[in-house]
Structure 1
Amino acid sequence: MTEDAPRPEARSPRGFNDRRGRDVAAERAILAAVSGVYELWGFEVLETGAFEYADALGKFLPDADRPNEGVFALQDDDEQWMALRYDLTAPLARFAAQTWETLPKPFRRYAFGPVWRNEKPGPGRFREFWQCDADTVGSARPEADAEIIAMAVAGLEAAGLPTGAAVIKINNRKLLNGLMTAAGVETDGQKLAVLRAVDKLDRLGPDGVRLLLGEGRKDESGDFTQGAGLNAAAAERVLAFTAAGVGGRSETLAKLADVVGGSAEGDEGLAELAAIDAALGSLGVGPDRALFDPSVVRGLEYYTGAVFEAELLLSTMDDKGQPMRFGSIGGGGRYDDLVARFTGERTPATGFSFGVSRLASALKAAGQDLAVAQRGPVVVIAFDQSRMADYFAVAQEVRAAGIAAEVYLGTSGMRPQMKYADRRLSPAAIIVGDDELAAGTVTVKDLDLGRALASGVTDNAAWREQRPGQQTVPRAELVAVLRRILEPR
């Protein structure tokens, strides 16, 4: 770079995060725990590439000439558009359609990895984030939905949520369609308006939804939202449907039957929920962990049957210590039309997905932060550049015993090197000067003990008394001394 060349500003693109050790470790812990649950339930891991052909994604592509709305897309040298995947389900549908003849059926897979969305970023809303999914492709049985729900419950608890800290809320799109028939809703536009109104129940309450089901609603800013245009009786029927979720699962089914029973699609949805209820009971998942909630809408055009959403129940605080409602931490449902985009044949599928970063944020907001201070390596202090080979031999000896170690490779003196080791949260520093080399010894400085004393810790006095802050020992005893320092308090 010439002196006159402008220097780029060091900045991150909006919606993309840099993460250091403790946050990465927290998300890795979640992924390891949840993956263990999925494999215990017989699901196979599947990895697909970051890019898919844009026409295989389908969801965010309003501009056929340049499909870069909602996704990050580029044109390959063969003039085909490729886009970074926006979720893990569309690649699964493509993979299933492409390899269907060779797959065990049903095909049970789980996946995790980054996804990218070309959307406006905001608080808690990123353009790149990690998802973790589990899906069953090829089974139309409601028990497949129940299994996914029960596994989601187990996965969230394995990730660190205490039992009862979250609940899976379950609905069925067929019930919603039966409700439309019972309420006299005929046009697609009116149906969409009703579903959007129901989806706002948590935020606006029954009175606000009642207005949106009727002529419309004016918000606090004065903006008017056109309503669905239902008459008063039809609107009350919809509200009665959304209120039917109070009580146990069997009680909810009985209330729902009073509202949507009698329509063919509504009765089919009720039968599917009854089968899910029975299977969840057999799997030991009670209504305190999974309940029926008719207000759950999700994916207005995406889902075809059961839908479910995981809601955090713990009290959460924002960065300023103020109470906040965290809401959904994952969701899913049945999507029987996705594979058919490729094959023309309807292929049943159901699955659950959660954002790994979002779940980590939820745990942190609820005081269940999995992020822990990352232990640094043992640092070998470098006194003399001519002795670097000796320092590397010590570090390699420590690493051979399974203990992380490094040789300081800067040019600073003793004090800055010790400060470096402290910033790395190193458990110990190893000092090997000329005297130690001549005598076949090493000096080990216990940095953990120093940090404990500096912080004024008053408990575990015996632990501190048994640990000298610095000791010179024979080289053959180095690993044993380090292991004693690394033992948990």
Structure 2
Amino acid sequence: ANDPTRPEARAPRGFVDRRGRDVASERAILAAVSGVYERWGFEPLETGAFEYVDALGKFLPDTDRPNEGVFALTDDDDQWVALRYDLTAPLARFAAQNWESLPKPFRRYAYGPVWRNEKPGPGRFREFVQCDADTVGSSRPEADAEIIAMTVEGLEAAGLPAGSAVVKINNRKLLNGLMTAAGVASEGQKLAVLRAVDKLDRLGPDGVRLLLGEGRKDESGDFTKGAGLNAAAAERVLAFTAAGAGGRSETLTKLSDVVGGSAEGDEGLAELAAIDAALTGLGVGVDRAVFEPSVVRGLEYYTGAVFEAELLLSTLDDKGQPMRFGSIGGGGRYDDLVARFTGERTPATGFSFGVSRLAAALKASGRELASASRGPVVVIAFSPDRMADYFAVAREIRAAGIAAEVYLGSSGMRPQMKYADRRLSPAAIIVGDDELAAGTVTIKDLDLGRALAAKVTDNAEWRAERPGQQTVPRGELVAVLRAILAASGSAG
């Protein structure tokens, strides 16, 4: 059995194979979200999987082999190329390369696989699909608001019930204003403050208060050194993070008490006020988009507004415990990215979400788009010399826009029914000699059969009733199938 010449069939770590239902579910999400983006006037853009390493930038170290975090190789002209790790770096390169000919602002959406050469773990893959929308060339806060409103609409189009996701919004300038007001001097101290704030969910205000000051000991006795703020400065930071309760305008009022007066803080407040007004005009209420000063993720990268979409749906984990899905995407304003190529600051803002993560969340909460899960109608093959007739029936069903196939294995009737069941087929079609002679077809409604099988205990009663089976004239075949599909909520 252990033949050394045979390779072992195995997928590389961090790469997954996905079958029908999962593929269909992700496609349905992409189709729904793309439809929203196009209605908002964003054009699709596809770029290649590889970019030159120097064009990717961001977190690539200057080493001889630039492979940390990315999959890289040398091209035949000795230049390093790498698989893209997101869709934003290729956009920046494309915009810089084609800036003269592009309509400005340039509004584009994109989706596709991205690759990260990182250690795989639960829910962390080395290849996954992202979907982004960005506006390059507008510095107006309304451009941020539009991306946020569109994100909300896109997530709902993908199948999330209204109110089950909220976009949390912050602004890098507010944090900079806060640092000034709290007397934070060095970059190191600033990072320590950001890290402390990021742990608010986990440790609560008391734990964060310790981390803002001298430091804290955790349950295991390990000591984490704090940011070293004095008590008044620490309280100011905590007041800042607590300002998010209530409506958007209330939050702005509370924030202006904490960071108002510093030039950058006032600028951030003005931007959020403009975002609030635009969101109100777009009909996005506080149940779908809130100002949340404790959002600090990615702030090294973003230059202004920053936003994160959080799923409020509760679902059960593998052990049956309730769990929150948390963040399914994020974005913000990044005004420095195109400048890497052109030397000129070019404003840009966008949002990105992980498609598989959203698909997993929809599946776990039972909200997956219905079309994703059905198999084809199966035409049972009785007799090898009648194959042409079976194919004619399948053709007729397909012409009506319903998926169908003729069974092409070599098993008998019962295994064929089992096959149809395994495919989650809505119905199986039986065209025996009697049916062909009479111009009829027998249709077995497999959904109804499944539902009734759960209730019937007696085998004889089952055989007598033959639930969900009917013989109809051939001309009525499509109408009956449509009714079966409509009853199962997946009209073809």
* TM, length-normalised to structure 1: 0.91
Q: Is residue 259 of structure 2 the alignment partner of residue 260 of structure 1?
A: yes
Is the 1:449–1:467 contact (alpha carbons within 8 Å) kept by the matching residues of 2?
no
Whole-angstrom distance in 2 between the partners of 1:473 and 1:288 = 52
| Aligned CA distance change for structure 1 residues 427 and 175 (closer, same or farther; 3 Å) | closer
Given that 1:107 and 1:137 are in contact with CA atoms closer than 8 Å, whether structure 2 keeps it comes out as yes
Aligned to 1:339: 338
Q: Which residue of 2 aligns with 1:402?
A: 401
Aligned-partner residue type, residue 172 of structure 1: N
Match of 2:45 in 1: 46
Q: Which residue of 1 aligns with 2:27?
A: 28
2: CA distance, partners of 1:206 / 1:171: 19
Partner of 1:392 in structure 2?
391
Deviates more, 1:141-150 or 1:375-384: 375-384
Match of 1:275 in 2: 274
Distance 1:105 1:473, change over 3 A: same
Match of 1:153 in 2: 152
SS in 2 for 1:326: strand
The CA deviation at 1:469 is 4.3
Q: Give the deviation of 1:208 after TM superposition.
A: 1.7
CA distance in 2, matches of 1:136, 1:174: 20
- Residue 486 to residue 300, structure 1, CA distance change in 2 (3 Å): closer
Partner of 1:446: 445
1:3 to partner: Cα distance? 8.8
Aligned to 1:315: 314
Corresponding residue for residue 120 of structure 1: 119
- Say if 1:126 and 1:457 are closer, same or farther in 2 by CA, change over 3 A: farther
Hey, what's the Cα distance between the residues in 1 that align with 2:63 and 2:115? 19
Partner of residue 232, structure 1 = 231
Number of aligned positions between the proteins: 482
Preserved contact between residue 430 and residue 443 of structure 1 (Cα < 8 Å):
yes
> Counterparts of 1:406-485 in structure 2 under 5 Å?
406-437=405-436, 440-456=439-455, 469-485=468-484
Partners of 1:426 and 1:323 lie apart in 2 by 32
Give me the whole-angstrom Cα distance separating, in 1, the residues matched to 2:54 and 2:46. 20
Aligned to 1:462: none
The residue number in structure 2 matching 1:19 is: 18
| Alignment deviations for residues 223-278 of structure 1 (CA, whole Å, 9 cap, x no partner) | 33222222222222222221222222222222222222221111111111111122
Deviations 1:193-241 (A, max 9, x none): 1112112211222222222222222322333322222222222222222
| Partners of 2:314 and 2:365 within 8 A in 1 | yes
Change (3 A) 1:339 1:454: same
Q: What amino acid maps onto 2:298 in structure 1?
A: G
Cα offset, 1:445, TM superposition: 3.5
Tell me if the contact between 2:373 and 2:424 (Cα under 8 Å) persists in the aligned partners: yes
Rounded to whole Å, the distance in 1 between the matches of 2:348 and 2:93 is: 13
TM-aligned CA deviation for residue 440 of structure 1: 5.0
- How far has the Cα of 1:339 moved from its partner? 0.7
Going from structure 1 to structure 2, the CA distance change for 1:220 and 1:374 (only over 3 Å counts) comes to same
Cα shift at 1:192: 1.5
Say whether the 8 Å CA contact 1:143–1:279 is kept in structure 2: yes
Q: 1:194 to 1:410 in 2, by over 3 A?
A: same
Q: Which residue does 1:241 correspond to in 2?
A: 240
Aligned-pair CA distance for 1:136: 0.7
CA drift of 1:119 comes to 1.6
For 1:123-155, what per-residue CA distance to the aligned partner results, in whole angstroms no more than 9, with x for missing partners? 222222222211111000111111111112222
* Structure 1 residues 416-450: Cα deviation after superposition (integer angstroms, max 9, x where no partner): 22221222222333334445555555444333332
Deviations 1:288-310 (A, max 9, x none): 22221111112132100011112
The Cα shift of 1:30 comes to: 2.1
Q: Distance in 1 between matches of 2:348 and 2:380?
A: 58
Determine the structure 2 residue equivalent to 1:368: 367
Q: Report Cα offsets for 1:301-323 as digits up to 9, x if no partner.
A: 21000111122223332122212
**1:373 and 1:162, CA in 2 relative to 1: closer, same or farther beyond 3 A?**
closer
Taking structure 1 as reference, are residues 372 and 22 closer, same or farther at Cα in structure 2, changes over 3 Å only? farther
Per the alignment, in what secondary structure is the counterpart of residue 325 of structure 2?
Answer: coil
Q: In the superposition, relative to structure 1, how do residues 422 and 222 fare at CA in structure 2: closer, same or farther (>3 Å)?
A: same
Give, in whole Å, the separation in 2 of the partners of 1:233 and 1:264: 21
CA–CA separation in structure 2 for the residues paired with 1:3 and 1:13: 20
Higher mean alpha-carbon deviation, 297-306 vs 75-84, is at 75-84
Contact preservation (8 Å) 1:360, 1:370: no
**Cα pair 2:380 2:406 within 8 Å, conserved:** yes
Distance change (3 Å), C-alpha of 1:473 and 1:136? same
Tell which deviates more after alignment, 203-212 or 214-223. 214-223
Shift of residue 372, structure 1, vs aligned partner:
6.5
Q: Give the structure 1 partner of residue 460 of structure 2.
A: none
For the aligned residue pairs, the C-alpha RMSD in angstroms reads 2.6
Structure 1 pair 430–363 and aligned structure 2 pair: CA distance change class (3 A): closer
TM-score with structure 2 setting the length: 0.90
Q: Deviations over 1:146-197 (max 9, x none)?
A: 1111112222222222222222111111111111111222221221211121
1:350 aligns with 2:349: yes
Match of 2:178 in 1: 179
Give the secondary-structure state (helix, strand or coil) at the position aligned to 2:133: strand
Structure 2 CA distance, aligned partners of 1:145 and 1:6?
A: 57
Partner amino acid, structure 1, of 2:229: L
Does the C-alpha gap of structure 1 residues 291 and 390 become closer, same or farther in structure 2, counting only changes over 3 Å?
Answer: closer
- Unaligned regions of 5+ residues in structure 2, if any? 458-464
Q: Contact 1:192–1:300 at 8 Å: present in 2 too? A: no
Residue 96 (structure 1) shift: 0.7
Contact 1:213 1:229 in 2 (8 A): yes
8 Å CA contact 1:14, 1:121 repeated in 2: yes
Partner SS for 2:313: coil
Which segments of 5 or more consecutive residues in structure 1 lack a partner in the other structure? 459-465
**Contact (CA 8 Å) 1:23, 1:371: kept in 2 or not?**
no
For residue 336 of structure 2, what is the amino acid of its counterpart? Answer: D
Instruction: Give the match for residue 382 of structure 1.
Output: 381
Which letter maps to 2:136?
V
